[in-house]
Amino acid sequence: DVKVTQSSRYLVKRTGEKVFLECVQDMDHENMFWYRQDPGLGLRLIYFSYDVKMKEKGDIPEGYSVSREKKERFSLILESASTNQTSMYLCASRRQVFNQPQHFGDGTRLSIL
């Protein structure tokens, strides 16, 4: 079974802090993704990565950056956290084979005070 692990289930940070959300997958998947999920807005793609050291902006990249130094790990960084970044963050990975499904982690519920 694919296992996607997000480092924290719940996280509370303060406005202006630099926040790191970590995601690790154990299936040697090439593609990894970060989404945020908000009530009424569904899932929105923040960034994704085709492979190591490669990244591409999703639909809402402003205020975020990412890092993928190793294939199994994809980090989402909030450079200077703001209250409007309070949300549920979901990481996913998939094999880069024709339309394979994405597999998701448990999510991190982040609160910015």
**Cβ(36)–Cβ(61) below 8 Å:** no
Closer to other proteins by CB, 45 or 60: give it: 45
Give the interface size with other proteins as a residue count (CB under 8 A).
25
CA torsion angle 94 95 99 101 (round to 10):
-40
Nearest distance, CB of residue 16 and other proteins, angstroms: 27
Stretch 41-60 residues interacting with other proteins (CB under 8 A)? 41-43, 45, 48, 50
Among 11-19, 64-72, 75-83, 96-104, which window interacts with other proteins (CB under 8 A)? 96-104
**Bridge pairing between strands 87-94 and 108-112:** antiparallel
